[in-house]
């Protein structure tokens, strides 16, 4: 059964282009031109995924995110934004978005991010309720407790609210505690697509996780390690490791 995409984009050219392109990838598309229509349509006929422009008349994409999340709606949300500053992207994640694409974009990148969001959603929906209660399904490392089936995280007694993508990234790093994972591995596992060394997507999500996880006076949990080539620091990529019990893995 095809997934239904609710597309909210006030730029007519972009909206029509995605309306034509998404069905060719097997999606059913409902397109609207502003945030008011997006909320009304989401309430009337809940989609499988939302694609929201940030800058829209009436209610912008960030406010649409906030309203849906406040209502308990966990439908995955992909933001489209012309804003390239890290602070702007973080604002989208703060509002409850799961991922973002910066304009101008390659439509193949939109497809890749939608596939990754929906793949993770389908896997989460398929987890039996009894499995969600199995203690053995949890991951405990460096003071964190992660419950993958229930998609919940605690640091000590404090529960941490994460978006879908943040949770998946944290789980991947925690399951590989003490091991340094490179860009391409993380992009492939989390997004299903390697966006290349020039992408800032991973850096934004790592920074956002740090903001939510780190506590004053406590050791940082996530560390970046620059690649080393023949004894020199290489600028080709940044590798990410998850610190466990005070030990951080090093690249070979």
Contact 33, 10 (CB under 8 A): yes
Angstrom distance (rounded) from CA 5 to CA 50: 6
Mean pLDDT of the region 222-240 = 49
- Asked which of 28-32, 103-107, 134-138, 144-148 is least confident by mean pLDDT, the reply is 134-138
Angstrom distance (rounded) from CA 56 to CA 65: 13
Angstrom distance (rounded) from CA 219 to CA 99: 28
pLDDT at position 135 over 80 = no
pLDDT in tens, 57-81: 889 999 999 999 888 888 999 999 8
Quick one: 74 and 110 in the same domain? Answer: yes
> In this predicted structure, what is the pLDDT of residue 245?
37
Quick one: 111 and 136 in the same domain? Answer: no
Angstrom distance (rounded) from CA 47 to CA 42: 6
- pTM to 2 decimal places: 0.61
Mean pLDDT of the region 29-51 = 95
Which of residues 105, 125, 145 is at a domain's end? 125
Contact 241, 180 (CB under 8 A): yes
Quick one: 43 and 151 in the same domain? Answer: no
Quick one: 141 and 103 in the same domain? Answer: no
pLDDT-above-90 percentage for the chain: 31
Which of residues 107, 125, 143 is at a domain's end? 125
Contact 38, 12 (CB under 8 A): no
Please check whether residue 14 lies inside any domain of the structure.
yes
Mean pLDDT of the region 175-199 = 76
> In this predicted structure, what is the pLDDT of residue 244?
43
Quick one: 135 and 116 in the same domain? Answer: no
pLDDT at position 212 over 50 = yes
Question: pLDDT band at 136, cuts 50/70/90?
Answer: very low
Quick one: 117 and 145 in the same domain? Answer: no
> In this predicted structure, what is the pLDDT of residue 99?
87
Helical (H) or strand (E) element with 144: strand 144-147
Task: Report the CATH number that the domain containing residue 59 is assigned in CATH.
Answer: 3.40.50.2300
Mean pLDDT of the region 1-24 = 94
Quick one: 151 and 203 in the same domain? Answer: yes
Which of residues 67, 101, 125 is at a domain's end? 125
Please check whether residue 118 lies inside any domain of the structure.
yes
Quick one: 144 and 172 in the same domain? Answer: yes
Task: Report the CATH number that the domain containing residue 135 is assigned in CATH.
Answer: 1.10.10.10
The SS3 call for residue 90 is helix
Query: Which stretches within the chain are classed as H helix?
Result: 12-24, 35-44, 61-70, 86-95, 107-125, 129-132, 164-175, 183-186, 201-213
Quick one: 78 and 191 in the same domain? Answer: no
Apex 186 CA angle, 184 and 187, nearest 5: 65
Quick one: 106 and 93 in the same domain? Answer: yes
Please check whether residue 181 lies inside any domain of the structure.
yes
Angstrom distance (rounded) from CA 240 to CA 29: 36
> In this predicted structure, what is the pLDDT of residue 235?
30
Quick one: 39 and 106 in the same domain? Answer: yes
- Structural domains of the chain, count: 2
| Residue of higher predicted confidence among 171 and 235 | 171
Mean pLDDT of the region 35-63 = 93
Q: 39 lies in which domain range?
A: 4-125
pLDDT in tens, 213-230: 888 877 778 877 765 444
């Amino acid at each position: 059964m095809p997934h239904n995409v609710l597309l909210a984009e006030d730029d007519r050219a972009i909206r029509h282009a995605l309306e034509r392109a998404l069905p060719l990838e097997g999606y059913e598309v409902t397109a609207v031109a502003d945030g008011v229509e997006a909320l009304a349509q989401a309430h009337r006929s809940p989609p499988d995924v939302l694609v929201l422009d940030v800058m829209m008349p009436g209610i912008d994409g960030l406010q649409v995110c906030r309203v849906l999340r406040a209502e308990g709606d966990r439908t995955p949300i992909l933001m489209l934004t012309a804003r390239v500053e890290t602070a702007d992207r973080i604002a989208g994640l703060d509002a409850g978005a799961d991922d973002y694409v910066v304009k101008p974009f390659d439509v193949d990148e939109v497809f890749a991010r939608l596939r990754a969001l929906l793949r993770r959603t389908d896997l989460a929906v398929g987890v039996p309720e009894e499995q969600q209660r199995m203690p053995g399904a949890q991951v405990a490392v460096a003071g964190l407790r992660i419950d993958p089936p229930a998609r919940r995280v605690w640091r000590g007694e404090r529960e941490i609210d994460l978006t879908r993508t943040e949770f998946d990234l944290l789980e991947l790093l925690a399951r590989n505690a003490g091991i340094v994972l490179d860009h391409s591995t993380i992009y492939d596992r989390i997004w299903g697509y390697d966006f290349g060394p020039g992408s800032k997507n991973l850096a934004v999500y790592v920074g956002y996780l740090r903001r939510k996880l780190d506590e004053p006076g406590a050791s940082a949990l996530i560390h970046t390690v620059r690649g080393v080539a023949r004894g020199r620091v290489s600028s080709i990529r940044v590798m990410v490791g998850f610190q466990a019990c005070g030990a951080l893995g090093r690249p070979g």
